């Protein structure tokens, strides 16, 4: 199964082990060329497959041009070479713009511009134990920012206190599907343990009664 975290870690490991693999010599030093590839920053930051497809697609086009230009020179004339070079540059510009657009969307989803007043009110309702008011703040917020991990974790905790255990577990399962959830794995599993303990305690109380 494809794993964004594995892709990111693999890319970082390659760059650490072979720092010059994505560089070209210039003036006695090495200049990084990998960041110029469309989708490079998206691969390193998110490990998303769409950025990998963009980078590989451009690499194939570039390699085909280099082979035709320097090895199979009889395949294209000088005029055709110039046309292909312009087309290659156009493809680079287009793919770079597309990659920048998708990265911007992922950045916005991963780091939403939180409305501080809404979040403050949600915490106030939560601390008072007013679960209905807390949920009325959380649900509209998550419709706008569905990948806000902190708010989703608060939603799961609120459901646990309201004894809505199944809904809480569903929220935690949803959390684990998010790309940055690995940074919150300990908190997510701690909340899952609390939910399981609360479920077991409720079952024991029911059996006793």
pLDDT digits (tens, 9 = 90+) for 129-186: 999 999 999 999 888 888 888 899 999 999 999 999 999 999 999 998 887 888 888 9
- Residue 24: pLDDT over 70: no
Q: How confident is the model at residue 85 (pLDDT cuts 50, 70, 90)?
A: confident
Q: Look at residues 145, 147, 37 and name the one whose alpha carbon lies nearest to residue 99.
A: 37
Tokens 């680079």 — which residue? 92
Most confident option among 82-86, 88-92, 195-199, 200-204: 195-199
Distance between CA atoms of 65 and 88, rounded to whole angstroms?
A: 8
Distance between CA atoms of 49 and 79, rounded to whole angstroms?
A: 36
State the CATH architecture for 116-204: Alpha Horseshoe (1.25)
Instruction: Give the relative orientation of helices 149-161 and 165-176 as an angle to the nearest 10 degrees.
Output: 160
pLDDT digits (tens, 9 = 90+) for 66-81: 887 777 777 777 788 7
Alpha helices in the chain (DSSP H): 4-17, 40-46, 49-70, 78-110, 116-128, 131-144, 149-161, 165-176, 185-208
- Token pair in block for residue 68: 């035709």
Most confident option among 96-100, 115-119, 146-150, 195-199: 195-199
Task: Break the chain into its structural domains and give their ranges.
Answer: 4-110, 116-204
Q: Look at residues 155, 163, 171, 166 and name the one whose alpha carbon lies nearest to residue 122.
A: 155
More confident of the two residues 110 and 14: 110
Q: Does the model's pTM come out above 0.75?
A: no
């Amino acid at each position: 199964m494809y794993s964004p975290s594995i892709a990111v870690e693999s890319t970082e490991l390659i760059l650490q082990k072979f720092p010059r693999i994505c560089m070209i010599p210039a003036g006695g030093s090495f200049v990084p060329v990998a960041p110029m590839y469309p989708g490079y920053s998206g691969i390193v930051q998110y490990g998303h497959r769409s950025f990998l497809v963009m980078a590989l697609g451009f690499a194939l086009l570039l390699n085909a041009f280099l082979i035709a230009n320097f090895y199979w020179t009889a395949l294209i004339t000088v005029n055709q070479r110039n046309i292909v070079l312009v087309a290659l540059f156009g493809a680079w510009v287009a793919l770079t713009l597309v990659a920048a657009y998708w990265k911007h969307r992922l950045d916005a989803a991963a780091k939403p511009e939180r409305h501080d007043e809404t979040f403050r009110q949600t915490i106030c309702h939560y601390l008072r134990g007013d679960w209905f008011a807390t949920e009325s703040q959380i649900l509209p917020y998550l419709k706008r920012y569905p990948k806000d991990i902190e708010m989703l974790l608060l939603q799961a905790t609120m459901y646990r206190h309201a004894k809505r255990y199944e809904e809480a577990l569903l929220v935690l399962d949803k959390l684990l599907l998010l790309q940055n959830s690995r940074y919150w794995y300990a908190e997510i599993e701690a909340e899952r343990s609390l939910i399981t303990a609360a479920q077991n305690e409720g079952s024991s109380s029911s059996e006793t009664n």
